[in-house]
């Protein structure tokens, strides 16, 4: 008797929108017809066969497929039940993303049916100033949080999103975040580009995300000062950015949140 393969394809790409050659927003529809419950900030794993000989039948009759797996933060909100929305960066040297890049709507893949992760707002008290700093596709969990909590008048006092990218087309969710900031005075969106060509017409900030957190710049863009007594900061993206930001924030009195020692800086390396 051949037992079912737990790593067989169990989801379908239901939508895909390419922002440029390296970034795409993809919707993954589970075969169950609905996404599993999750908390904004959590992730799912995606997987594809490791190669043409990835599927094996063991001596006991069980079928196993060796997969290349990677974790991706969910950009959709928990109430968006039809599919998981993910923001993917295609890395040429990556083991999985070159394979994902070739998939189109209707193609099959494996996903872990149980979302995971502790990079959430569950330990953050209500009514604080929330500051979310992302590079690249690290913006995904913060979009999920804004979609889920943006309509709650008590969840936060301010909601600031700082998104660093190389060029304008890399700014996933730019229109959505711009519209959110226009609709709600508590929301601020600060995009900053590091490699946008001169003369492109870009009138926003240039440089690294650290620039936006400098006191004068931050105050002018948000209308309030960043204070460890009233603010919680979330960092997601390039590990070097996270390390630098944690050091700078520590010098201003911020502390890293850990399971044993609550703090006001939360981070997830996303690279």
pLDDT at 2 over 60: no
**Domain extents in the chain:** 11-111, 128-269
Give the residue among 268, 263, 185 at the shortest CA–CA distance from 228: 263
Give the mean pLDDT of 57-74: 80
Give the residue among 139, 133, 11 at the shortest CA–CA distance from 74: 139
Handedness of CA 17, 18, 19, 25 (dihedral sign): positive
| Amino acid 1: pLDDT | 40
Which range (15-19, 50-54, 181-185) has the least confidence? 50-54
Encode pLDDT of 255-269 as tens digits: 999 989 999 999 998
C-beta of residue 212 within 8 angstroms of C-beta of residue 110? no
| Amino acid 193: pLDDT | 97
pLDDT band at 271 (very low <50, low <70, confident <90, very high): low
| Amino acid 50: pLDDT | 80
Give the residue among 119, 186, 197 at the shortest CA–CA distance from 153: 186
Q: Quote the mean pLDDT of the chain.
A: 93
pLDDT band at 65 (very low <50, low <70, confident <90, very high): confident
Q: Say which CATH architecture domain 11-111 belongs to.
A: Beta Barrel (2.40)
Q: Say which CATH architecture domain 128-269 belongs to.
A: 3-Layer(aba) Sandwich (3.40)
| Amino acid 4: pLDDT | 59
Please report, rounded to a whole number, the percentage of residues in the chain having pLDDT higher than 70.
Answer: 93
Give the mean pLDDT of 229-243: 96
| Amino acid 220: pLDDT | 97
The model's pTM is 0.93
Q: How close are the terminal C-alpha atoms of the chain, in Å?
A: 42
| Amino acid 60: pLDDT | 65
| Amino acid 91: pLDDT | 87
* Contacts with 243 (C-beta within 8 Å, 6 or more apart), sequence order: none
Encode pLDDT of 109-154 as tens digits: 999 999 999 999 999 999 999 999 999 999 999 999 999 999 999 9
Encode pLDDT of 158-187 as tens digits: 999 999 999 999 999 999 999 999 999 999
CA dist., res. 132 & res. 231, Å (int): 11
| Amino acid 267: pLDDT | 96
Encode pLDDT of 85-109 as tens digits: 999 999 888 889 889 999 999 999 9
CA dist., res. 245 & res. 252, Å (int): 11
| Amino acid 54: pLDDT | 63
To which H or E segment does residue 164 belong?
A: strand 156-165
Counting every residue, how long is the chain?
Answer: 271
Which range (49-58, 158-167, 222-231, 245-254) has the least confidence? 49-58
């Amino acid at each position: 008797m051949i037992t079912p393969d737990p790593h067989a394809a169990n989801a379908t790409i239901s939508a895909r929108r390419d922002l440029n050659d390296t970034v795409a927003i993809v919707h993954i529809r589970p075969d169950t017809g609905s996404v599993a419950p999750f908390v904004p900030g959590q992730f799912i794993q995606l997987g594809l066969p490791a190669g043409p000989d990835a599927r094996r039948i063991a001596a006991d009759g069980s079928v196993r497929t060796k997969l290349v797996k990677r974790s991706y933060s969910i950009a959709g909100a928990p109430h968006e039940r039809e599919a998981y929305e993910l923001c993917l960066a295609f890395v040429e040297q990556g083991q999985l993303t070159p394979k994902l890049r070739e998939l189109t709507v209707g193609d099959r893949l494996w996903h872990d049916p149980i979302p995971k992760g502790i990079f959430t707002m569950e330990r953050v008290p209500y009514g604080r100033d929330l500051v979310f700093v992302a590079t690249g596709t690290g913006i995904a969990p913060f979009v999920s949080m804004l979609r889920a909590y943006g309509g709650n008048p008590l969840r936060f006092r301010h909601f600031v999103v700082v998104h660093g990218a190389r060029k304008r087309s890399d700014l996933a969710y730019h229109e959505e975040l711009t519209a959110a900031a226009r609709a709600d005075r508590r929301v601020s969106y600060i995009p900053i580009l590091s490699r946008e060509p001169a003369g492109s017409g870009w009138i926003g900030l240039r440089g690294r995300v650290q620039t936006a957190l400098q006191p004068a710049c931050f105050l002018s863009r948000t209308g309030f000062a960043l204070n460890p007594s009233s603010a919680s900061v979330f960092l997601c993206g390039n590990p070097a950015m996270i390390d630098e930001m944690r050091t700078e924030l520590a010098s201003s009195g911020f502390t890293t949140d850990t399971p044993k020692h609550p703090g006001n800086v939360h981070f997830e390396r996303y690279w």
